[in-house]
Structure 1
Amino acid sequence: MRQGWRLLLKELSAFGVVGVACFFLDVGLFQLLYAHMGTGAVTAKLLSTLVSMTVAYVGHRYWSFSHRARTGVRREYVMFAVINGVTLVLGLGIVALVRYPLGQDGALVLQAANLGSIVLGTLIRYFAYRRWVFPAHGSALARERDPVLADDAI
């Protein structure tokens, strides 16, 4: 039981460190591309998001969730991207809901909505990564993807 708590603490702390580092990478790269290199805002955001998401995937695969089953880089990265896309749309939806139907245009209110969407998105991503991207050894998904684990289950 004690080992389980240690593993969870390692996983959560590594998840947080990777997330914070990638947040700053995204913001810094966007600033570099848009403000200093003259890249268009949308292109700069797309590139900064793709780079930070890829770095996050590598950090999570090889550090945060390194103790979990491997189900293939291609499958994991696609699932990782889909989950990030869903949480991005959710965050945009929350901010849009507060801004337009609720009619709030104050910077403080919108920033609170933004922060709330980040917290919600982070929780969703953590549990989704554990469940679908980096499943536990012995889970049905891990056995399906790894013939060695499938043989052990028999």
Structure 2
Amino acid sequence: MDVAKRLYQRFSALLHELLKFGSIGLIAFVIDLGLLNLCNTVIGLGPLTSKVVATTVSTTFAYAGNRFWTFRHRDQSGLGREYFLFFLLNGIALLFGLLTIGFTTYTLGRHDSLSVNIANIVGVGLGTLFRYWSYKKWVFLEATEPIPVELPGTGIRQDR
């Protein structure tokens, strides 16, 4: 039990960050999947155009969630810089989804919704690995000064 407690203490910050990142990612995934199917099946935009629309909307949600919740303890290097980098890196991650959907649809000839959704899930999974790594490396940088436990002048303890 003592070993588990020490491991938790050592990795608690990373664990909490990963849980927050995963929560935001899950909601963004639901937005992405819902809009992909709405645009592709109901509106008829086609699988690749639908993926771009869905990713644009879900990425906007994910930026706000990650900036103001997951990585709020990290320095803010300017919302303009972060927003630009966030969308640039999500554009790169979008390529994983476009490649898997494009391969499934146009190379394998699978145009049904189930095949498009499976390809989307694979692409999102690959893109998520890239996004988590790249956000920590380039977008939401390490804090250069310790974050105070209490909010300045209020005596109110921050939730981390």
- Note the C-alpha offset of 1:3: 4.8
Map 1:34-113 → 2, pairs under 5 A: 35=42, 41=45, 48-97=54-103, 100=106, 103=108, 105=110, 112-113=118-119
- Residue matched to 1:125: 131
Higher helix share: 1
Identity of aligned residues (%): 38
Distance 2:53 2:109 in 1: 30
Distance 1:20 1:89 in 2: 19
- Note the C-alpha offset of 1:97: 3.8
Residues 72-113 of structure 1 deviation map (CA, whole Å, 9 limit, x = unaligned): 000000101011111111221234345555x46386776554
For these two proteins, the number of residue pairs brought into alignment is 135
**Deviating more after overlay: 43-52 vs 117-126:** 43-52
Distance 2:76 2:9 in 1: 21
Distance 1:24 1:66 in 2: 23
Distance 2:120 2:50 in 1: 20
Distance 2:50 2:115 in 1: 26
Distance 2:116 2:33 in 1: 18
- Note the C-alpha offset of 1:123: 0.6
**Deviating more after overlay: 125-134 vs 112-121:** 112-121
- Residues 3 and 136 from structure 1, CA distance in 2 versus in 1: closer, same or farther, beyond 3 angstroms? farther
Cα RMSD (Å):
3.5
Distance 1:80 1:112 in 2: 25
- Note the C-alpha offset of 1:47: 5.4
- Note the C-alpha offset of 1:48: 4.6
